[in-house]
Structure formats: C-alpha cells, structure tokens
C-alpha cells in the first residue's frame, strides 16, 4: 500500500428511485397524498413516470475496482449518468458505498463544487478563512497561504469587498484558489477547471499540472473536455452506465469514449428527468427525428439536415426560442444556431421542423445539444428544457477525403473554408 494512494475494490453504489424526499416538505406531502388517493403527482415533471419506478433500485456504480498510484494523474471520463460524479463523492466521503471498500493513503482535498460554503454577505477575505476551514485547512495554514491565494485569484483590489458584489467569474476564481492551495496528498476534482476566462483556465490547469508532476500529488480529474484530459492526465478510466469498461492509455480511453458518445439514429427519444438545477421543466423535448428517408443520418457536403422536433409545454410560454449546438465527440463546440424570432408556445404537444445547412462544416461526427428557453423583458434567458447529446450525425465529403488526406479536427479545425484559387504568374526570362 506504500506506493498506492487509493485502492477501490468491488465498489457499488445503489439508489432507490421514486423515493419521497427530493423536494420541499410541502411538495413531499402533496406527492404522498396524491399517491394514497391514486391521483397524478402534482410535482411530477414532464416526461417522467415515477409511479412505474417507485421502489425500483438504480446502480449508479456496479462492481468498480482499480488502484491509483502516488503521483499519478488519473482522468475519469464517460457520458452523463455514467457514474463519474458518484465515484468522486464516494472518494470524497460525501456518501458511502453500498458494497465494496475504498482505502486511502494520504489526506484528500475535494473540489466537487467550487465555492461551497461561500457567504454572499461576507467579504472575500472572510470567505477565504471560512471556506478554507470547511475544506479542512487550519487557521495557521490559511494565514501562511493567504497572500498566495489572493494573488492566484487576482483579487488583491477586491478582497475586502462582500462577495455578493463579485461577478460570477470573480467568485469562482477565488473559490478555486482556496481549494487549489490545500495541503493534501490526493486531489479530487470534478470539472473545476471550467471556471473564469481562458487565461485563468490555463492558470488553473498549470496549477493542477504542478500538483501532479512537480509536487508529486495524486490527482483524480473528471471532465468532458478531452483536451484537458490529454494535457493533465497520465492514465484514464472510462465509465459506462456505472461499469468500468476501460483502464489504461489516455488516447485509447478518449477513442472509446468518443465512439460511445455519438448517438447515430434517425429517431432520438429524449426521455427521463433533467438533472440540472437551472431547468424549470415548463417544456419538455420529447423526440428529435432526422427527416432522412434512407439509412443513418449521414450527410454529404451541401446536403441540408432536416430535424423534426417534438415537444410538450406544461403551460403557455411567452417569447420562447429554440437553440441547437453542435459538439464534436471530444466535447468541443463546433457551432450554434438559434431561432430568428421568439414565439409564444401554448400548453400541449407541438412539433416544428429545423433545417441546418452543412456548408463549411468540416467532415466528422457531431452531437446535437437541444435547448428550449424564453427571454424576459430584461433580456435574460430562462431555460425550460435542455438535452445534452440529444442525437448525432456525420458529415462526409463526396469522395470521403480532401487532397488524399483524411480530415483531422485536432490540427485542421472544425470549419472547412472554400477552396483556394491560386493565380500563377510567369517568371520573366
């Protein structure tokens, strides 16, 4: 165990679906009374059927085993719902495994939700001390590292200002700086590098790289950004529906993840509850259909993509709009489109057709992220439903290659520019 930082042996985590206790006391009582009387649950979300799931059990993790050596940077990747965050919560002792054992060799610093414990009425200085204490630092440790934390967060001028006056970027920068300066042998991180601007993200990545390589600390990192996985991690595991399906080389792990991440089907049903807290579920995207008569959704250059989107509205929604974003399998945004004008959506089931032009889109596979939202009088958006990896398609060239070379997104990019015309001038005699 001297060379092993973490050992996970046959770990499973089971949850009971449909259990009361996920909302307010009033909502739970309403749900309980509706169930007793055999009526529809007034707090159920569109697209869910909790009555069928009541009492069922869900394995978030299923017999997972692996070891992490000291000084190793381990990447953890997988689709949404694969069990990544559950695994990190078990490692951070937020919750206990249903089965199996987890052994540690060193102190753990967890950054699962950056900024947990910050109080808006307190100043940045006061929150540094309070948040540091929550994360396990002593006052002496915080005193010793205070100047480093403030300098790293670039908050020297605002450290004595209440954080309620901070922008969201300032808030997360200070929170990350506190968590990143913990004295620990093991660091557990869940998408925490997606904070601040691009410059600060690179700064965060450099800090984590130093922790793993220069300081010899063990790093476990969850991300959907494959570029940061490549840059930071020396080894990677892939989770799929709670099972560990690969453990080894980073590039091979990313290849497996990308292949499983594309949903190639002409009909994509978007069922299940939405987990994000910023979705109010006033609308629900039920189904996305590729209007293609023959075969899988594979399109040649210039061939338009026609999507039929079926959705439901729980109530009338004013100034509604629809947005679709195209992502590459490694998580990079290739482009986004939205409806030109807002519409009023009325209660009930509806359908509309969306046409996407593929001109200029480089060859390759893409995921579609679909969003229904509305715009209020002040110009801010309210998300009613969002489906990640809703469906997938592939763009191909007619001869499947460009100048006898297969397209490489990593070095060539995601936009295909028009052909270059070259005018050759004759050299004088």
Average pLDDT, the chain: 80
Confidence band, pLDDT 50/70/90 cuts, at residue 216: confident
pLDDT at 87 > cutoff 70: yes
User: How far does the chain reach from its first CA to its final CA, in angstroms?
Assistant: 79
Structural contact between residues 389 and 79, judged by C-beta atoms closer than 8 angstroms: yes
Q: What is the pLDDT of residues 121-149, one digit of tens each?
A: 999 999 999 888 877 788 998 999 999 99
The pTM of the full predicted model, rounded to 2 decimals, is 0.63
Give the integer Cα–Cα distance in Å for 34 and 40. Answer: 6
CA-to-CA dists, residue 47 to 65, 83, 107, 156, 300, angstroms = 34, 22, 43, 48, 34
Percent of the chain at pLDDT exceeding 70: 79
The tokens for 120 are 């808006």
pLDDT given at position 400? 47
Q: Which of 48-52, 167-171, 186-190, 309-313 has the highest mean pLDDT?
A: 309-313
E strands, 24-157, in order: 57-69, 73-77, 99-104, 108-111
The tokens for 413 are 């990019």
Question: Which residue shows structure tokens 């949903």?
Answer: 263
Q: Write the CB contacts of 47 (distance below 8 Å, at least 6 apart in sequence).
A: 270, 271, 272, 273, 284, 286, 312
pLDDT given at position 382? 87
Q: What is the pLDDT of residues 8-65, one digit of tens each?
A: 999 999 987 655 555 667 777 777 777 777 776 766 655 455 544 555 778 899 999 9
Give me the domains of the chain, ranges plus CATH numbers. 4-260 (3.40.50.300), 267-406 (2.70.50.60)
Q: Looking at per-residue confidence, does 375 or 260 come out higher?
A: 375
pLDDT at 237 > cutoff 90: yes
Q: Which of 33-37, 140-144, 185-189, 272-276 has the highest mean pLDDT?
A: 140-144
Give the integer Cα–Cα distance in Å for 186 and 220. Answer: 8
Q: Looking at per-residue confidence, does 325 or 364 come out higher?
A: 325
Lowest mean pLDDT among 39-43, 120-124, 284-288, 392-396: 39-43
Among positive and negative, which fits the CA dihedral 356, 362, 364, 365?
A: negative
Give the integer Cα–Cα distance in Å for 309 and 290. Answer: 9
SS3 235: strand
Q: Looking at per-residue confidence, does 178 or 112 come out higher?
A: 178
């Amino acid at each position: 165990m001297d060379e092993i930082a973490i050992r996970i042996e046959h770990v499973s985590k089971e949850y009971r679906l449909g259990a009361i206790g996920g909302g307010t006391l009033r909502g739970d009582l309403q749900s309980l009374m509706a169930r007793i009387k055999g009526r529809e649950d007034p707090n159920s979300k569109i697209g869910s059927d909790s009555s069928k799931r009541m009492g069922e059990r869900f394995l978030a993790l299923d017999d997972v085993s692996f070891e992490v050596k000291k000084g190793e940077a381990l990447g953890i990747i997988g689709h949404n719902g694969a069990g990544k965050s559950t695994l990190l919560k078990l490692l951070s002792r937020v919750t206990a495994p249903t089965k199996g054992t987890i052994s540690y060799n060193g102190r753990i610093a967890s950054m699962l939700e950056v900024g947990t414990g910050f109080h808006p009425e307190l100043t940045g200085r006061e929150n540094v001390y309070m948040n540091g204490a929550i994360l396990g630092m002593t006052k002496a440790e915080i005193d010793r590292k205070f100047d480093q934390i403030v300098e790293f967060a670039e908050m020297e001028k605002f450290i004595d200002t209440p954080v309620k006056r901070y922008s969201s970027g300032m808030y997360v920068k200070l929170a990350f700086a506190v968590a990143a300066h913990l004295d620990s042998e093991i660091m557990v991180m869940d998408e925490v590098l997606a904070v601040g601007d691009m410059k600060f993200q690179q700064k965060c990545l450099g800090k984590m790289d130093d922790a793993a390589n220069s300081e010899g600390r063990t790093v476990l990192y969850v991300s959907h950004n494959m570029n940061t996985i490549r840059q930071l991690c020396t080894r990677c595991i892939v989770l799929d529906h709670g099972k560990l399906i690969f453990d080894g080389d980073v590039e091979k792990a990313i290849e497996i993840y990308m292949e499983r991440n594309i949903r190639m089907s002409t009909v994509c049903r978007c069922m299940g509850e939405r987990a994000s807290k910023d979705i109010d579920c006033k609308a629900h995207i039920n189904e996305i259909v590729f209007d293609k008569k023959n075969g899988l959704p594979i399109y040649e250059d210039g061939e338009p993509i026609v999507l039929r989107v079926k959705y439901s509205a729980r109530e009338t929604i004013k100034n509604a709009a629809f947005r679709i974003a195209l992502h590459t399998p490694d998580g990079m945004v290739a482009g986004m489109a939205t409806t030109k004008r807002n519409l009023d959506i009325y209660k009930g089931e509806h359908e509309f057709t969306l046409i996407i032009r593929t001109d200029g889109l480089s060859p390759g596979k893409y995921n579609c992220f679909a969003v229904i939202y509305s715009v209020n009088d002040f110009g801010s958006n309210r998300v009613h439903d969002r489906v990640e990896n809703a469906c997938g398609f592939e763009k191909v060239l007619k001869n499947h290659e460009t100048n006898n070379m297969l397209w490489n997104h990593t070095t060539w990019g995601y936009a295909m520019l028009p052909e270059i015309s070259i005018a050759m001038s004759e050299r004088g005699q």
